[in-house]
Amino acid sequence: MKSVSMLKLFVAIPRYRSTVIKRICFTVVILCSVGIIEGQNSVMLPFVDDFSSYTGNPKPSLWQNAGALVNTGYAYLPPTTGVVTLDILDADGMIYSHANVYGFAADTLTTVSIRMDSISEPVTKRLAVSDSIWLSFFIQPGGSMGNLWERIGSAPSSKDSIVLQFYKSNQDVWQTVWSRKGSPLDSIYKNDSVYFLQVMIPITDTAYFNRDFRFRFINYGSLDNNPSYSYISNKGQWNIDYVYMDINRRYNTPTTRDIAFVNPAASLLKNFTSIPAKHFTKNYMKDTVYNTIVNLYSSTLNSNYSFNVTQPDGSVVYTYSGGFENIVSYPSTHEFQSAANHVSHHLDFAYNPPQNQFSEYIVTHIVKEGVGQDNIQSNDTVRFVQKFENYISYDDGSAESGIGIEPSKASELAVRYPLLATDTLYAVDIYFNCSYQQSNLQPFYLNIYDAVQEISSYKDNDGNEINDTVYVPNEPLYQSERLTPEYDGLNKYHRYYLDEPLVLPQGEFFVTLKPVKSAYMNIGFDQNNDAVGFMYEKRSNQWSEIFLKGAPMIRPYFGYLSVGIDDTVSGGGEIKIYPNPANDYVYIDYYGNVEVRLFDQSGRELIRTKSKMINVSSLQTGIYFLRVNNKTEKLIIAR
């Protein structure tokens, strides 16, 4: 039967960068702050970052970072795609060790030195208060809006706050110039009818007009007062966008002449972010492509929109032109582009990925101002890379929150996957979040079930009885030994190999996680994609659908696994090649980019490629050596 899920929704760890890099950056920030590192970066005005062209650590040419994250997943309708988020996670993606329920300093984002003594463009001159220098930025408390089960992130509580400070180098002190207490986004929208508040601050103190002006944001967060550490996870996010500081500005003037995308590019598949080519059908394609486009200027502008799909070699497989349309001023109307041929056009395209090999397509959306000059062009293009490899995923690889299994031995979380042909399951990737002091990393069983159809009855909002046919887990096909959740880094999956490859027939199957004992589990939950209809929970021996908006970060991997390269490589996890012995093709299973070279026994190089699928059908039976990145393994060709 259908029911509202009792699974707990946690806020998770939305990180995209290496822990090692974070540690280094965190150390550099500390050293710079006490004056140990000399010759630090400095920039001249204007200072602009709208966080639209990259993710991960903020640009080191502009920022010194201690925990903040540039991302495209946490904010709700930002000024332009991409924000920087401050939360309560330290440089290792863990809740700060000094965290408490009363309040503590968490993430800090500091600029490099900004030259406030002079400028060189349009003419070289010394700066003064009369040059009317203003700093502006947009800010949003996390947690988004709408139904509770559809929200992204976690709003800062009333005892949390964010602070902006200016640095006075002549006194070596930081001065607080602005702050805001925590609150839900709903209250801001109710009062101001905006999703992001724009803050504008004039710089009028002559003590700041020197070669080493800096400003920083500090997030002061707090833990929930919960008796169970398993429930305590990341919270108190603040999203910041469009930081802009320049001369000749006035209060309430537009940020700049800028047309931009608001949201990142999405998969063109209805449900999946990735699927093997042999299990793809044209029925999985979306019917409509949606965009959100904004005009941040003070008056109506004209824009041109286009959309294309290419292969990595640049060959174009699909193009669409939306032509020119007027777009009203968002600051004046609080409205986005409404022309259908720009924001909701019909998709008359389907992928045709080659079978039995890895492939990918690059989906690119471009919007340009039709007349005049768009001052920031980095936010005019958004891309999505569609992969057809050897796994199925509903998620995009980033956990905006977490989905938790209730503490009961009878509880179980299940995710359904379709197969269009018989295939061999050999591993499952899972991303586990970290709760406070890693208390949620409790042992579990990994199970594989076949599927059976049942009639599910429920009442709609009007009280009408609705009957649906749904798939639910049926007979167990595999149960692992007792497993332990592993945290390999921020948004890095841990791979769990089956004891033996499992041949699955065409049809539906389930991957389930079951706690060994009565303990909470917190699995990464991507809230920018939706796997509703594919997620189930078991309570009191009864399976029911989960109606939380999001996708558990659980990915089944397919293909026969045999002897091959097996080594841990920094930043990407294990490298696996299969099959070995091989016949026609060799596949490389690795998260990151690869450089592959194949040699015969005399040392002669026969193949060099960056593909994860190598065609060896032209090679004679014998022994060869396959080098993947910096690891070499013997490869046998046998026919």
Q: Report the alpha-carbon angle 255-258-259, nearest 5.
A: 135
Sign of CA dihedral 350, 354, 357, 358: negative
What tokens does 233 get? 């996870």
3-state SS, residue 207? helix
Domains of the chain listed by start with CATH number: 41-253 (2.60.120.260), 277-388 (2.60.40), 401-558 (2.60.120), 567-637 (2.60.40.10)
Residues of the chain with pLDDT under 70: 1-40, 91, 226-233, 254-255, 407-409, 435-440, 456-461, 467, 518-519, 560-574, 602-603, 639
Specify the amino acid at residue 332.
S
Give the tokens for residue 573.
């996890």
pLDDT of residue 459: 67
Q: Is 229 helix (H, G, I), strand (E, B) or coil?
A: helix
CB 123 within 8 A of CB 131: no
125, 129, 132, 138 alpha-carbon torsion, rounded to 10°: 110
Give me the pLDDT at residue 562, please. Answer: 35
Instruction: Give yes or no for a contact between 322 and 378, defined as CB atoms under 8 angstroms apart.
Output: no
* pLDDT value, residue 6: 32
Q: How far apart are CA 586 and CA 577, in angstroms?
A: 7
| Whether 110 contacts 214, CB under 8 Å | yes
* Residue 608 Rama label (left phi>0; alpha psi -120 to 50; beta): beta
Rounded to an integer, what distance in angstroms lies between the CA atom of residue 356 and that of residue 60?
42
What is the number of alpha carbons within 13 Å of residue 496 lying toward its C-beta?
A: 25
The pLDDT value recorded for residue 232 is 58
Block residue for tokens 């179980």: 412
Q: Give the residue ranges of DSSP H helices in 34-145.
A: none
What's the confidence (pLDDT) of residue 28? Answer: 31
CA distances from 53 to 58, 72, 481, 535, 602 (A): 11, 10, 44, 33, 46
Burial 172-183 (b: 16+ CB within 10 A, else e): eebeebbebebb
Here the tokens at position 344 are 């909701």
Closest CA to 399 of 259, 232, 278, 526: 526
Q: Which of 387, 367, 267 is nearest to 322 (CA)?
A: 367
What is the helix (H) or strand (E) element at residue 603, kind and residue range? none
**Bridge pairing between strands 42-44 and 113-115:** parallel
> What pLDDT does residue 572 have?
46
- Which residues have C-beta within 8 Å of that of residue 27, sequence separation ≥ 6? none
* Predicted TM-score of the model (pTM): 0.79
Residue 463 and residue 436 in contact, taking contact as beta carbons nearer than 8 Å = no
